[in-house]
Amino acid sequence: MIYQFGPFALNPELRSLYRGREPVVLPAKCLEALVVLVRHRGLVVIKDELMAALWPDTAVEEANLTQNVSTLRKALGDDPKQHRYIATVSGRGYSFVAAVTEVQGPESPSLMTGTGSPHTRPHRHLWTGALRAVAMLPSKPEKGLQWPRVRQLLPALATAAVAFSLFAVSQHSHWFGRSAFEGITSVAVLPLENLSGDKEQEYFADGMTDELITELSKIRALRVISRTSVMRYRGAKKPLPEIARELNVDAVVEGTLLRAGERVRITAQVIRAVPEMHLWSESYERDLRNLLDLQGEVARAIAGEIRIKLTSQERAGLSSSRPVDPVAHENYLRGNYFWNKRTEQDLQKSIEYFNRAVQKDPSYALAYAGLANAYNSLGIYAHLRPQNMYPKARAAALKALALDDTLAEAHAALGLYDSVFKWDQPGSDQEFRRAIQLNPGYSPAHIWRGETLTTMQRHGEALDELDRARELDPISLNASDQRGWVLYMARRYDEAIEQIRKTIELEPRSAHAHCWLGKAYLQKGMFQEGLSELRESATLPGGDSPLLAPWLGYAYAVSGKRAQAFDVIKNLKAQQQNSFGSPFGIAVVYCGLREKEQALAWLEKACQERDPQFPAIANEPPLDPLRSDRHFADLVRRSTLPP
């Protein structure tokens, strides 16, 4: 087998490297290192493993490896700023990142990897070379064997030693049985490392990580950590066992992504956390049209390696895919990237990209689901009239389901629409349960179902859903945040305060968390503490949203600062005239001021304008002074009626 990359040709059998027709002279260890890196191209070769392969029987310092890699880079003419051939993975090892073409030699039969792309299994081929090297040794000791004869055999012996070491690493689990894979029921897919060197491609690597998580999450027997938790580890130098312990998983999946034109290469490896052990690795290469098929293939391979039994439905879900237009897929990934930021400006960008995706490929169901989620989020976080946002969310979700009714994201988006705009809570719950059935690991479905159950005063079930979301997303800000909100709505204020403080530890600048904490303090009569938290919330990104801004006015009202409370009402009414200022929030401030008639009038307006906060009317503690009023009872009844 000859490996070609750039102007170079590497022949491991003859231990030679050529640049065009000119031989490249390299020290033996540099050439051996190049062979290892090329055969593991795209994968991260850990420093310790590489040193063990190069010096199997000798203890050497890491500086020896660094010097050899430096010499090798100079011989290849590698750019020290933009490595074209060998990339350093900080704190871990090295990865060969250039595209490699394999040319079969006369003694190198092609080896296929089953359903993957045609390429050799590097360890198997290396083992063949090792056997050839050993075969060169004399079968019986020769009398008077001279040093020149031994010296001729040294290259073969070195090749055998390198081969045996790598083969032992690759075959560890086979030698010691499948026990290394047993007991793995939870995994975290760490962010794929972008090897392109182009920061603009980060969204692409993030998107591919999301899609691999989504595919694995379809397997009910496997707990897969959601994106918001794993994304915090991008670029982290923590040891893998420590990451696994923080996320409470048995194993981690890590990998790299290299995009070159219309081709993408993904490498993935499964590493057991305790004891830390490399279990499996594989490299896949596809053109951009077949990326969805690739994600399912990787997920099936990982499930097979860790011996997770798939149901027929799960197997079908992982196998079903269709070619996707590369431009449409790229726009979808960009849209999802901005949707996850959740600011009004970023949500508008996400809608722009999702629309580009469906314009390019009108049959792209997942992009329609993304569009539905973006419109749903805008209705909650932006000063835009609900009537202008939520019908668009519904239309996009229904279009996605018409194209693919097994899409969990689309069912969840429709469920959120039913909950916050249609006010059909039983219908909403049905959609969420369907989404969870299709993809048990889809964390947003659990969070949104928990919120919906709370509006139905089923607080215990709501907390169960939020706890499940936290299992899937242990350090998710949203799951922790909403669990605090559910405890507040259940009037378990001390527990709510404890939970929300944990959220603030995760993200001190969370406007949501400071708002919820302030509300809980106010209900305990801790007005100074509540006012302080709500003032803090108002200064943070998103604190001026219609979901949060009114609560500072309520804090002023119950703290006896009436003038400041009326200032907040004035600002909200001005927004109400121009766009949307939350009539529900205005009603809450009036309730704090004990102006009952004004509070009821604005609640009526909130009902008529389909304010997304209105379904909370049955539970929201500040509205308790109104509960004996007949008009209020009628409003509660109407909060559960579809339009």
| DSSP secondary structure letters along 95-128 | EE-S--EEE--TT------TTS-S---HHHHHHH
For the chain, the maximum distance between any two Cα atoms, rounded to a whole number of angstroms, is 112
Q: What does the pLDDT read at residue 257? A: 81
Task: Report CA 421 to chain centroid distance, whole Å.
Answer: 28
* Length of the chain measured in residues: 643
Q: What does the pLDDT read at residue 213? A: 86
Phi, psi dihedral angles at 609 (to 5 degrees): -95, 5
Residue 368's closest CA among 345, 336, 325, 340? 336
Residue 232's closest CA among 216, 214, 209, 199? 209
Pairwise CA distance, residues 199 & 259, whole Å: 12
Q: Report residues of the chain scoring pLDDT below 50.
A: 106-179
Beta bridge partners of 86: 96
Q: What does the pLDDT read at residue 41? A: 85
| 234-271: pLDDT as tens digits | 877 788 888 888 899 998 988 888 877 778 888 888 88
Pairwise CA distance, residues 635 & 511, whole Å: 29
Residue whose token pair is 């003419």? 77
Q: What does the pLDDT read at residue 133? A: 35
For residue 285 the two structure tokens come to 């290469």
Burial class (CB in 10 A: 0-12, 13-18, 19+), 559: middle
Q: What does the pLDDT read at residue 19? A: 85
